Each structure stands twice: as structure tokens, then as C-alpha cells.
A = this chain, B = another copy of it.
Amino acid sequence: MYFASDNGAPAHPAIMDAMLRANTGYTSGYGAEEGMQEVQQTIRDLFEAPSAAVYLVSTGTAANALALATMTKPWETIFCHRNAHIEEDECGAPEFYANGAKLTLVEGPDAMMTPQSLQAAIDYTGRLGVHNVQRGSASITNVTEVGTVYSLEQIQALTKIAHASGVKTHLDGARFANAMIALDCTPAELTWRSGIDAVSFGGTKNGCLGVEAVIFFDPDMAWEFELRRKRGGHLLSKHRMLSAQIQGYLADGLWIDLAKQANAAGQKLANGLAQISEVEFMPPAHANMIFAKWTRATHDKLAAQGSNYYFWPADPAPNGPADEKLSARLVCSWSTTDAEIDQFLGYFS
């Protein structure tokens, strides 16, 4: 009953096969291998973006921080929701890579920035000339950190506001595929057609072992990104370790299938929980993550039976009343089975 994270799942066997296939004979490294050219072309085709610059790194934090540093000067700020991964879970990586750029936290329910809040934050930022930090970029996380999914209209409303003030737009797509499946849209619609300038296109959480692509729809940012990646220690010598994963991931629509499985598992789990009277949902579960509350007594019972998930936003104090409601985060992955979900739901009764 493992719902702790989609990072806890293994890589899909087809990804491992692709790595094995790539691991033969001598090849150029540092992204000059043939496989990387194929990856670039495949991603350009998928995103209908023939001049996009495409790079691979091994973590989501690297993808986000390197992309944002390329889009944001040190004296500028990055607008994001206060629950964004870049704010809460990257130990200050964006600030480090961007040499002290600030993060301006934008409000909104369900971990989604509202247009009004973004507009207000942008307006406030620009008002004092050289004394203030300047407007830089805006980062939108989709799927959000609490499992909701921005609609295309919501993204468009935010990117329109950003661009009107010269603010560049970034999509943190650590769960890009899960969002795309939830929205039933194309990669292009989820990104540049909705006003996104650069995207962290996640692979790791959706069946890869450790690879994320960074895609710039404006290739002018490419060379600076390459230097930043090298300087950050994120340019792999045996780069086929990364390109092979993406080859396997994108071949034959595997990435779509895996996200469908994860989202379907998420929906099955959400539906099951909705039948349980003591369960109280928090934000709606749009994709593969569920946030919900139930009593401490039930939590204890579930743990005793081997369930594995995190409390949210942090562990509760160790002792407390049995009927206290405590919040949980449950994440399904491509490898979550119906049997696991049924077993877990059964523990409640």
C-alpha cells in the first residue's frame, strides 16, 4: 500500500530496456550522441515546435532552477504560488542558480495562482524603480502541489497578464503527462499555445529513472542554458544515460499510457475514499494525487496495516485525540495496482 510518492515507484521496464540498448559501443558524450538528436526531434514534433531548444538533466530541481535562472536576472523576482515546489521543496535552488533572485509568493486557492493575485503582485513589484527587485518570470506548476490541475483557460489568463508586463513564463511540469491527460489536450496546447515560454518536462515521476527535459520555445535562451547546465555540474558525460530514458519514455506513446494508468489509479482511489463517511476531501483530486482528512485513530489503524503515505503539510504532533482529523497526501503512480487500492480502502472498514 505505497502511496508516499510517485518517486517511490521503479522505472518502467521499457525504460530500462532502452538504457540497455543504448549501452553498447563507443559514442560521443555530453549530449552529442545520436540518441539525443533523436530525442530533440521527437520532442519538437510532439510539441509542434520545430525550433525549440531541448535539454536533459537528471532532476526536477535542476530543470526548474536552471530554466528559471536563464529567464530571470539576479535582481528580478519569480512569481509563483506559495505552495510551489520551487518555494517549498528545493532548498532554495532557484535563488542559488539565479544568484539571489527573489521568489514572490502569489495567493490562490488549491495551490493555483489567481489572475487577480498575479496582477497585484506584478503591479506591486514594479513601483519603486531601482529600490525594488524587478519583475522577472512567473512559474506555474501543473499538476499543482496539491493535486489540482490548471485548465488551459486558467493558464492563458496568467500568461497573458505576465507577458503584458514583460514577465516570462515557465511551466513546472514535473507531472506534465498527468496534467495533460487530465486536461485531454496536446503538449502544444498545455505550453506555448497557452503562452508558456519554457517548460520543465518531467520524466522521473512518470516511469523514468531520473530524467527531465527542459524545453525553450525561444531558442535565444539556448546557449546561456547550456553554459549554466555545465557550470551547475548537470551536463552528463555519458549523456546516453539520459537520452535513452527519454527515447524509451516517448516511444510508442508509453508516456501517455503511464500517465493514464497513474491518473486512473488516482481517480479510483478518490472515488473509493468518497464512499467512506469519515473522509473529508481537501482540494479536488484532478490527477494522480489525493489530499484528504480522516481521524487520527484511522490513520493509526492504516499505518498498523502497512499503509505508506505522508501527512500534509507535515507530520502532526505525536500524540493527540483519537478523533482529531489529520490530513494525508496519497500519490498513485504508473505502477499502482487496483489490488493495492482495494486493499487500502478495505483497511478503513
Binding site for B on A (CB under 8 A): 2, 4-5, 7-11, 16, 19-20, 23-30, 57-66, 73-75, 77, 88-93, 95-103, 105, 124, 127-128, 130-134, 204-205, 209-210, 224, 226-228, 230-238, 241, 308, 313-315, 335
Known contacts A8-B28, A102-B103, A230-B61, A74 near B92 by CB under 8 Å? yes
Known contacts A74-B92, A210-B238, A230-B130, A8 near B23 by CB under 8 Å? no
- Choose among A7, A96, A128, A238 the residue with the greatest number of B CB atoms under 10 Å from its CB: A238
Q: Say yes or no: B227 contacts A75, CB within 8 Å.
A: yes
- Choose among A9, A61, A62, A237 the residue with the greatest number of B CB atoms under 10 Å from its CB: A237
Q: List 21 A-B contacts (CB under 8 A).
A: A8-B28, A11-B23, A30-B131, A58-B58, A58-B241, A59-B234, A61-B233, A73-B227, A74-B96, A75-B231, A90-B230, A91-B133, A91-B231, A93-B232, A95-B95, A96-B232, A99-B100, A100-B100, A210-B237, A232-B233, A233-B234
Residues of B within 8 A of A101 (CB): 92, 95
Residues of B within 8 A of A335 (CB): 26
Residues of B within 8 A of A75 (CB): 91-92, 96, 227-228, 231
Known contacts A75-B227, A231-B90, A26 near B11 by CB under 8 Å? no
Q: Say yes or no: B89 contacts A132, CB within 8 Å.
A: yes
Say how far A37's CB is from chain B's closest CB, in angstroms: 17
Q: How many copies, total?
A: 4
Report the nearest B residue to A98, measured CB to CB.
B100
Q: Say yes or no: A127 contacts B313, CB within 8 Å.
A: yes
Q: Say yes or no: B5 contacts A29, CB within 8 Å.
A: yes
- Choose among A24, A75, A99, A308 the residue with the greatest number of B CB atoms under 10 Å from its CB: A75
Q: Say yes or no: B90 contacts A131, CB within 8 Å.
A: yes
Residues of B within 8 A of A99 (CB): 74, 96, 99-100
Partner of A231, one of B20, B63, B96: B96
How many Å lie between the Cα of A230 and that of B57 in the bound state? 14
Q: Say yes or no: A27 contacts B8, CB within 8 Å.
A: yes
Partner of A96, one of B90, B100, B128: B100
Identify 15 new A-B residue pairs, CB closer than 8 A, beyond the known A75-B91, A75-B228.
A4-B28, A8-B26, A8-B29, A10-B23, A58-B241, A73-B227, A75-B231, A90-B231, A93-B230, A93-B232, A99-B99, A100-B100, A130-B235, A131-B230, A234-B234
Q: Say yes or no: B10 contacts A24, CB within 8 Å.
A: yes
Q: Say yes or no: A91 contacts B20, CB within 8 Å.
A: no
Report the nearest B residue to A23, measured CB to CB.
B10
Q: Say yes or no: B130 contacts A226, CB within 8 Å.
A: yes
Known contacts A23-B11, A102-B95, A238 near B226 by CB under 8 Å? no
8 closest Cβ contacts across the A-B interface?
A: A62-B233, A95-B100, A127-B314, A7-B237, A61-B233, A2-B26, A91-B230, A96-B100
